[in-house]
Chains A and B, each alone.
Chain A
Amino acid sequence: MSLSQAARDRIVNEFIPRYPSKRAALMPSLWLAQEEAGWLGPEVFEEVGELLDLHATDVASVASFYVMFHRRKIGDRLIEVCENPSCFLNGSDQTYARICDRLGLDAGHGGHGMQTTPDGKFSVRPTECLAACDYAPVVQVDLRFYGPVHVADVDAFLANMEAFSIQGKPSVSMANGPQAIPVEGWETHAPPAPGSAA
């Protein structure tokens, strides 16, 4: 596994001129390398380092800081389930457990790390907030967002993910346009407004 010539050209001709320092081209270069191979191996650190005048250990230390750079081979598809409060309140733990169960993985023993199915088709891990809390619980598959995936939806989701895609969709509240419209008859349903602020 090593960088293609096309990737090298792109790093040299596009990424390096974009910034005043060669080093700053590191983030886009690592992304490009990961897109090619699916993960970042030691050779990539050497090769990217050579192009950017950095030592391979330096490149590796940067890559290791960011959770989205994979320094081990992962499954063909990476499924990540948000577990932060907004998704948690909407049942993301159950979604995560069901996805693991359907793929033959043990949700309890994965901890916060990544688990990969024995056939190498899927990797699964919990993740932090994906910034789509109105579609909670949110699932990210290969950097695309899907939601809401409730526990009862997991089978349908695994069978046809695209049906759950929220890419490019407006917020739940803006389905009819950008106007914040008061809910019809909200005064009758809402509890009385509290007195003065404490």
Chain B
Amino acid sequence: MTQTPLAADAPIQHGAGKPLPWEPVLMTAVGREGGRFLPDYLLRGGYQGLKKAVQDMDPDSVIKEVTDSKLLGRGGAGFPTGVKWGGTKRNPGPRHLVVNADESEPGTYGNRYAIDADPHGLIEGMLVCCVAVGIQQAYIYIRGENLYGAEVLEHAIKEAYAAGYIGKNILGKVGVNVDISVTRGAGAYVCGEETALMESLEGRRAQPRIRPPFPIEVGGGLFGRPTVVNNVETLMCVPHILVRGAAWFASIGAPACPGPKLYTISGHVNRPGVYELPMGTTLYDLIYKYAGGMKRNQKVKAVSPGALACQLLPGTDLNVQMDTATLTRPPHWHPPFGPVGFGAGGIIVYGEETDIVQVVARAAGFFARESCGKCVPCREGTHWMQDVLGRIAHGHGRPRDLGILEDVTRNIGGRKTLCALGDFSVNSVASALRLFRPEFEAYCNGHARSSAAGSGVPVAAGWS
């Protein structure tokens, strides 16, 4: 592995001596020998944020600093982190912290690399949260598939216990006690939903709870206690906010939802991967400037801006800023389904050669299999979508199928389900129908464009 210099003062030069526009904040461990271990983390200025929170600040001013930074949750909902912390603190203890590392939205993979590269960055963010909100028990819930990430975290937690960052009387301050443990999921997309995740952590089937009470309230959180549920990336921002100040953080990128963002881009791009850039980077820059443009020089047909649970953006809309605020406001709002959505920033780019009917059929299959089965619109509706789209994608569509499909999407989407994941399951299907209706019609009239339709090419999904 090559050593990457950490230029704190001098900007790193590249190419023809041009200074780079953006100095990474969250992923500084990448490329450094032993970057994921404690000694290197300390070399990079690790645990300074925690020191500040424990020794120099009182808990309320830590929460105020995070609120002032305008940090919004990076998991998809975009809730202000400081407000969530403050709200939890107003409710009586014991309180809990849960880290949602169950990243399983197709196309989203920033958390996995963040944990692999810099587990101590996450642990420090968790500790700051625990100190600020008055939490003694913190749990990391990581998806079962990510065994390697769980091992990296277990090792980092051991290191941090040994060095006195976790445990009793943290950094010598009497009465500040925090314990952190890792719990592995076992393959359920719905665990990315915070209440389902807590059910799973409690040893139950991961089915979302009815709200209110909300997780921050007594009776709504983990083991019935007020609980902060934060995303991995959100917490990794926190130590930097304390060290460099809320004003610094608020000045990065889009003013309404500032900060560094791990964009993950995949699909028909030449250089897929994780790109750490300021919030509000345009889709055009992400695709062409950073991700190396489109494979085989195709045009962009459509983009899933926040993975499968978001609505598709047409390929003509590349000037859009990729951030929570922009993609959840008009004109990126399509009744009755609501905003296009930004999700966790997992961008899937579809080139011209994409058969969009096959893609959304696959999306429908995904949501049907992953529906938890608790509420009716999602449990029944996602299977209807899967069946109808499977029929269409296999070349047996009938003209009236599109009407059925629209009807089904309207009866799932638009806040009719218990959790947001059910609500969002229709987004890619409904938006594809809106944007690419002629392609669906061609399928239903016996003019399927894909070679996959009825040609004997094996399709992995289980459509009958």
Picked from A23, A112, A176, the residue with its CB within 8 Å of the CB of B369 is A112
* Residue in contact with B106 in the complex, picked from A65, A68, A85, CB distance below 8 Å: A85
> What's the least CB distance linking B165 to chain A, in Å?
19
The CA-CA distance from A89 to B266 in the complex, in Å, is 9
User: What residues of chain B lie closer than 8 Å to A92, measured between beta carbons?
Assistant: 460
A127 to chain B, nearest CB (A): 8
Q: Mark A125-160, 1 if CB is under 8 A from B, else 0.
A: 010111111101000100111000000000000000
Q: How many inter-chain residue pairs (CB < 8 Å) link A and B?
A: 269
Chain B CB within 8 A of A164 CB: no
Beyond A133-B266, A167-B148, A197-B320, whether A182 also contacts B2 by CB under 8 A is no
A83 close to B319 (CB less than 8 A): no
Q: For B276, list chain A residues within 8 Å (CB).
A: 178, 180
Whether the pair A181, B14 counts as a contact (CB closer than 8 A) is yes
- CA distance in complex: A128, B28 (Å): 30
Q: How far is the CB of A22 from chain B (nearest CB, A)?
A: 8
Q: Which A residues touch B206, using CB under 8 A? A: 65-66
- What is the number of residues of chain B that contact chain A, defined by CB distance less than 8 Å? 101
Instruction: Mark A84-98 against chain B: 1 for CB-CB distance below 8 A, else 0.
Output: 111011001100110
Give the docked Cα–Cα distance between A28 and B200 (Å).
11
A81 touches B460 (CB 8 A): yes
- CB neighbours (8 Å) of A61 from chain B are 205
B266 pairs with A108, CB closer than 8 A: no
Considering only residues 418-464 of chain B, those with a C-beta below 8 Å from chain A are 452, 457-462, 464
| Binary contact readout A156-190 vs B (1 if CB under 8 angstroms, 0 otherwise) | 00000000000110111110111111111010011
> A24 on the interface (CB 8 Å rule)?
yes
Q: Does A1 contact B (CB under 8 A)?
A: no
Cα A133 to Cα B23 in complex, Å, equals 24
Sampled A-B contacts (27; CB under 8 Å): A19-B223, A21-B203, A27-B186, A65-B372, A69-B186, A86-B107, A108-B459, A112-B461, A129-B107, A131-B103, A131-B108, A133-B107, A133-B267, A134-B272, A134-B273, A136-B266, A171-B274, A172-B271, A173-B290, A178-B4, A179-B14, A180-B22, A180-B276, A182-B289, A197-B319, A197-B320, A198-B331
Chain A positions near chain B (C-beta within 8 angstroms): 18-21, 23-28, 30-31, 52, 61-62, 65-69, 81, 83-86, 88-89, 92-93, 96-97, 100, 107-108, 110-113, 126, 128-134, 136, 140, 143-145, 167-168, 170-174, 176-184, 186, 189-191, 193-198
Given A68-B186, A178-B24, 18 extra CB contacts under 8 A: A19-B223, A21-B223, A24-B201, A27-B201, A31-B184, A31-B186, A65-B205, A65-B372, A131-B112, A134-B109, A171-B264, A174-B113, A174-B274, A179-B24, A180-B290, A190-B284, A197-B331, A198-B314
